[in-house]
Structure 1
Amino acid sequence: MEMRGLMGGFYKISEWIMRLSVTNLLWIVCSIPYIFLIFPVIVAQSSDALMTSLILSSIIAPFTLFPATAALFSVARKWVMGEVDAPLLRTFFRNYKECYVQSMVGGILYVIIFTILIVDFRVYLVKLESLQLISYLFIALMALLAVSLFNFFSMVVHYQMKTFQLLKNALLLTIGRPFRSLSTAIMCGFVVYISFSSAKLMFLVPFFTGSIVAAIAFWNFYAIYMKLQQQAEKAAAAEAEALQEKIDNEGIEFLTEEGHSAKK
């Protein structure tokens, strides 16, 4: 029996708190090796310790963080598509296993590109002081690459494609839909900023931040997907109508020619 009124509202809120927190905790548990390596980056006092932690965490990320994030997006996909009662553990771990190789390979390529952009950013910011303004371009490129990474995870759990097709389509989708990409970057960036803005809100990180970001990112991706589907259906309907009209016209011409022949 469905609860209604104020108690029903509290019950639904508590359900969503449970869904978001459990999924977020699963994501963190499956990313523990990466978290152990990235944590010193937050508290690093020296540049040498910072670089060492970044290098080690970047190496381990494709094998831990990226498959866990793909599994996280698989649960977010269920929510966005209306399957809010989908079993969390089964959905998460099934997709963790199924998407492991693709997310790992894609993760390696994304880590390489991110590394190149970060190195270029530091070079222009520190070494080439006269060209510091160019460093902001690399920040924009990293933000764009982050959105394409979200689209990549969304496609991994939504399509059956080869890895390089997913990577290419994720980049094309990000560039081809700039307003959606911007909204994804702003909303996800806002969630991350709020989560790390003060010590009082740091509890969001282990319980909500990852799952909320995944839900927002997949929601934006799914909106693009549905629009493309509608456009494809309209184009197919228009093509079928044009083909039917052509067949009807050819049939009329054939009957007309037959009529002329009979009169002769």
Structure 2
Amino acid sequence: MGGWDRFHTIVFVMLKLAYMNILWIFFTLLGLVGFGFFPATVSLFTIGRKWLMGEEPLPIFHTFWHTYKREFIKSNGFSLIFIVIGYVLYYDFTFVGMNSGKLTFLVPVLVLILIAYIITLLFFFPVYVHFDLTFWKTLKQTLLIAWTSPFEAFQIVLACGLLYGAVNLLPGIVPFFTGSVLSMIVMWISLKAFEKIEKKKGSHPISEQHEKSL
């Protein structure tokens, strides 16, 4: 019976992750990708946070749809900022590539900026769904946590690499487990980072913030 219970639990978790991933893809497409990606990802991380914090039973579709509608405009405001920064980085890499003989010395700098950009983007969603902050304080908190959590940042990058390898080996998992699995891992690592910073710095900067209720 113990083995059957474990099997039942594993199957239930896999089905739940697959359902979350399908909803993520659907709502991203619903927003024509460009306007749907950030609110759909915020919704995905919201469910992941609630799951990891033991808020069960959780109505997945209702929570996803409610969060998607509520955070659509605000999350797309952040999306615009990340898109602009990403475009500037893309332009800089292109420009340096076209003038590689003269500007090669800029490549390490741009690579470091790109890594910082990716890490900040990955930490953004956990910070956004966990804390009830204003627009600019959300960006400030994200940058602060990203720069003060190098070990957790390394874990997140490693998780992305492992997931990328799994997708290459089993491309059929893309519609079912990519976004949902990565969001759960990133959220779990981020919660550990929040807890560590709170213990290290006391009431500043984490415990002064109110957890978001979505």
Please give the TM-score of this superposition, normalised by the length of structure 2. Answer: 0.85
Matches within 5 A, 1:151-162: 151-162=123-134
Partner of residue 190, structure 2: 221
> Is the contact between residue 70 and residue 96 of structure 1 (CA under 8 Å) also seen in structure 2?
yes
Alignment match of 2:178 (pick from 199, 206, 209): 209
- Aligned-partner residue type, residue 181 of structure 2: I
Secondary structure of 2:132's partner? coil
Q: CA deviation at 1:147?
A: 2.0
Larger Rg: 1
Matches within 5 A, 1:58-207: 61=34, 63-83=35-55, 85-132=57-104, 134-195=106-167, 197-198=168-169, 201-207=170-176
Q: CA deviation at 1:68?
A: 0.5
Q: CA deviation at 1:155?
A: 1.7
Q: CA deviation at 1:113?
A: 0.5
Distance 1:139 1:85, change over 3 A: farther
- Aligned-partner residue type, residue 9 of structure 1: R
Distance 1:232 1:171, change over 3 A: closer
Which 5+ residue runs of structure 2 have no aligned equivalent? 205-214
Kindly provide the CA deviation profile for residues 189-238 of structure 1, in whole angstroms up to 9, marking residues without a partner as x: 3213421x24xx11221100101111111111111111233345589xxx
Partner of residue 207, structure 2: none
Partners in 1 of 2:139 and 2:165 — Cα distance?
Answer: 27
Distance 1:11 1:102, change over 3 A: same
Partners in 2 of 1:234 and 1:162 — Cα distance?
Answer: 18
Bigger shift: residues 131-140 or 148-157:
131-140
Q: CA deviation at 1:34?
A: 7.2
Query: Sequence identity of aligned pairs in percent?
Result: 27
Matched, 1:17 2:17: no
Secondary structure of 2:58's partner? coil
- Aligned-partner residue type, residue 96 of structure 1: Y
Root mean square deviation, CA, Å: 2.2
Partners in 1 of 2:94 and 2:162 — Cα distance?
Answer: 24
Which 5+ residue runs of structure 1 have no aligned equivalent? 36-59, 236-264
Secondary structure of 1:99's partner? helix
Secondary structure of 1:31's partner? helix
Bigger shift: residues 138-147 or 102-111:
138-147
Higher relative contact order (CA closer than 8 Å, sequence separation 6+): 2
Partner of residue 40, structure 1: none
- Aligned-partner residue type, residue 188 of structure 2: W
Partners in 2 of 1:224 and 1:147 — Cα distance?
Answer: 13
Please give the TM-score of this superposition, normalised by the length of structure 1. Answer: 0.70
Partners in 1 of 2:59 and 2:129 — Cα distance?
Answer: 16
Partners in 2 of 1:116 and 1:28 — Cα distance?
Answer: 27
Bigger shift: residues 204-213 or 170-179:
170-179
Partners in 2 of 1:125 and 1:228 — Cα distance?
Answer: 39
